Every structure is written in C-alpha cells, then in structure tokens.
C-alpha cells in the first residue's frame, strides 16, 4: 500500500507540475504575447520580421492574439528555443520541422499554400533523345545537384537515385554541386552534365524565363509530393489557444491584403492550410533516411567541393 501511495503521489506531483508548467507559457494576451522565432532563411528584406508583420498584426487585430516576433541566429537555435520552451511558434523547413518534432513533439499549425497547392515536387531532368530512359540508365553518366542543404535539389533526388539502385558516389561518372536549383539546371542546359536535380517549380521557371528549351529537355523522374514548409507551435500551449491559432491562420488571407501573406523565408504565398495532415510530412521525411551524412560527404568529395 505504501508503494502504491508513493507512486500515486509521484503521479499527482507530475500532473500538478505539468499544469503549472503549461500555465506559465504565454497565453497570447497583450501582457503575455506568444513568442515567435523565425529561422534565418533567405528573405526579401534585411529584417525577416518585417516580412511577417502584416500577417501577425492582422491576427492581433482580428482575433486578439498578440505576438512578439524575432529572427533566430540559426536553424538549430530555433529548434532549441522551441524545445526549451523559450519559443511558442516557429516557421521551419520540412526537414527542420521533422527534427523538432522528433526532439520535443512540436505540433503542426499550418503549411504554406502556393498556387493552390500545399505540396511541391522534386525532379531529375535530362536531355530528350538520349539513351537515358530511367534512373538506372544514369550509371556511368554525369549529374548536377543544388545545395546539399536543399530538400528538392539534393536530398530527394539523391534518395530517388538510391531507391532506383544508383549509388551517386560510385555509379555516377561525375558530380557537380552547382549550389542552387537554377545553377543545376544551367549545368544541364550548357551540356556539362547528362542530368540535373531541381524542383519542378524551378524547372518550369527556367522554361518560362527562356533559360531552357522544353523541346530539348524533360523530366526523367518525379518525387512524391513534398509538403510545403510548416508553421509549428509549442505542444504545451493551451488547447483552446491552439484551436484559435489554427482558425486565425486558416482565415487571415481573407482579413488582410492577400499580397501581404508570407510563408517560409518571407516569400509570398496564397494562404495557410491549417488542416494539413502532419503524417504526410513525417512520411515524406522518412524517404530521406538513406541520404546519410556519409553519403553527402562522399558526394562532396567526388565533386571536389570540400
């Protein structure tokens, strides 16, 4: 009985501690605004918080939720801030969201919606009329990639190659780490490589800008849908506040000038999808487990960029 009583006391203390802990988190009032921290992604201004100000000010005006916006020093700092309960809302890339979710269970608030879609695609592109008809045909061929930190111009294409039985380190004759989507596509257009990795959006943009002739180049492989960058919230926030936040972000594009809606990195987006299935993000990220640190380092060595 004594042991049971002791266990019960421990559980009671844990519950009370949890309740006190949750009560200490900001509640979105003017006196205790929600702390928002943005990852230092590329943005259109020198102060990323200015990009988001219209959205958060609009939510304050229309829904009465107050915020304190700051820019983080690094991706890791934003993850640590959320997991140490120093941050209540953060915008992550999909990979960073997965890391924070695994580390401390951050909850999905919404994802960006661009051109009516909550997802985008990565691709491998090649020249029409050659002997490359599948990813397996890239053995012995050359290929360009974007930045090693890019989801769709590096990580997904590499995962697609590995799944298709092609080890980029040993099977490709040459690797170019071009550094960006556009540079990867340019390497293909200039005949420096047999294939290039980039997002579909970037390939279509290159076609639209006249940088590449769609009559000469085409997709060789297309990834599964990759969720757009997610907006996350601290799991310890009050459940009613979480519900109110989801409603606010799902409607804010109807409350303010739509051209002021911003997504990851301060880029313009259509709106926010607050009903997106988090499991789609987790499932997409699971595809990247084969792209290990060793694979990346070996590719950088082969490309001669380390």
Residue 98 confidence (pLDDT) above 70: yes
What angle is formed at CA 294 by the lines to CA 293 and CA 299, rounded to 5 degrees?
A: 100
pLDDT tens readout for residues 296-306: 999 999 998 66
Q: Which position has the higher pLDDT, 147 or 277?
A: 277
Which pLDDT value is given to residue 9? Answer: 44
Query: Which helix (H) or strand (E) element contains residue 53?
Result: helix 48-63
Helix (H/G/I), strand (E/B), else coil: 137: helix
Determine the average pLDDT of the residues in 76-100.
88
Domains parsed from the chain with CATH numbers: 34-118+228-275 (3.40.190.10), 120-226+288-304 (3.40.190.10)
| Higher per-residue pLDDT: 197 or 22 | 197
pLDDT at 181: 86
The per-residue DSSP string of 174-218 comes to: EEEE-SSHHHHHHHHHTTS-SEEEEEHHHHHHHHHTTSS-TTTEE
pLDDT of res. 106: 95
Q: Find the range with the poorest average confidence among 3-7, 221-225, 266-270.
A: 3-7
pLDDT 10s digits, 29-48: 999 999 999 876 644 455 77
Please state whether beta strands 122-127 and 217-222 pair in parallel, antiparallel, or not at all (unpaired): antiparallel
d(CA 147, CA 159): 15
Whether 26 shows a pLDDT value over 90: the answer reads yes
Flag whether pLDDT at 121 surpasses 60: yes
- Integer CA distances (angstroms), 38 to 61, 90, 99, 236, 258, in order: 21, 6, 16, 19, 21
Q: In 134-173, which positions are buried (b, 16+ CB within 10 angstroms) versus exposed (e)?
A: ebebbbebbbbbbbbebbbbbbbbbbbbbeeebebbebbe
pLDDT at 41: 60
User: In the predicted model, is pLDDT for residue 238 greater than 80?
Assistant: yes
CA dihedral angle for residue 127, residue 129, residue 133, residue 139, rounded to 10 degrees: -60
Note the helical H segments in 64-106. 75-83, 94-104
pLDDT over threshold 80, residue 150: no
| pLDDT for the residue numbered 12 | 41
CA distance 40 to 36: 13
pLDDT value of position 138: 97
Arithmetic mean of pLDDT over the chain: 87
List the Cα angle 271/273/278 in 5-degree steps: 150
Calculate helix-pair angle for 181-189, 200-208, nearest 10 degrees: 60
Over range 133-162, report the average pLDDT.
Answer: 92
pLDDT tens, position by position, 68-81 = 999 887 778 888 99
């Amino acid at each position: 009985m004594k042991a049971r009583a002791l266990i019960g006391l421990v559980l009671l203390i844990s519950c009370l501690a949890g309740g006190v802990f949750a009560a200490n988190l900001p509640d979105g009032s003017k006196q205790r605004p929600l702390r928002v921290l943005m990852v230092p992604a590329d943005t259109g201004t020198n102060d990323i918080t200015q990009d988001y100000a219209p959205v958060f000010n609009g939510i304050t005006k229309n829904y009465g939720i107050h915020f304190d916006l700051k820019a983080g020093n690094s991706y890791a700092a934003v993850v640590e801030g959320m997991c140490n309960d120093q941050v209540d809302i953060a915008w992550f890339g999909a990979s960073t969201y997965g890391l924070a979710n695994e580390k401390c269970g951050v909850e999905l608030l919404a994802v960006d919606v661009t051109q009516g879609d909550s997802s985008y695609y990565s691709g491998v592109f090649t020249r029409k009329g050659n002997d490359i008809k599948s990813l397996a045909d890239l053995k012995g061929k050359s290929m360009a990639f974007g930045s090693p930190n890019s989801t769709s111009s590096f990580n997904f294409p590499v995962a697609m190659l590995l799944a298709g039985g092609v080890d980029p380190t040993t099977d490709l004759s040459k690797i170019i780490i071009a550094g960006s989507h556009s540079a990867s596509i340019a390497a293909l257009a200039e005949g420096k490589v047999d294939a290039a990795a980039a997002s579909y959006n970037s390939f279509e943009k290159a076609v639209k800008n006249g940088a590449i002739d769609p009559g000469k180049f085409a997709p060789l492989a297309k990834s599964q849908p990759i969720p757009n960058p997610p907006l996350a919230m601290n799991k310890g926030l009050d459940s009613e506040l979480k519900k109110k936040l989801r409603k606010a972000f799902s409607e804010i594009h109807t409350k303010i000038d739509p051209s002021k809606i911003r997504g990851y990195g301060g880029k313009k987006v259509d709106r926010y999808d607050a009903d997106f299935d988090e499991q789609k993000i987790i499932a997409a990220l699971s595809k990247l487990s084969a792209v290990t640190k060793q694979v990346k380092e070996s590719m950088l060595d082969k490309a001669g960029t380390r």
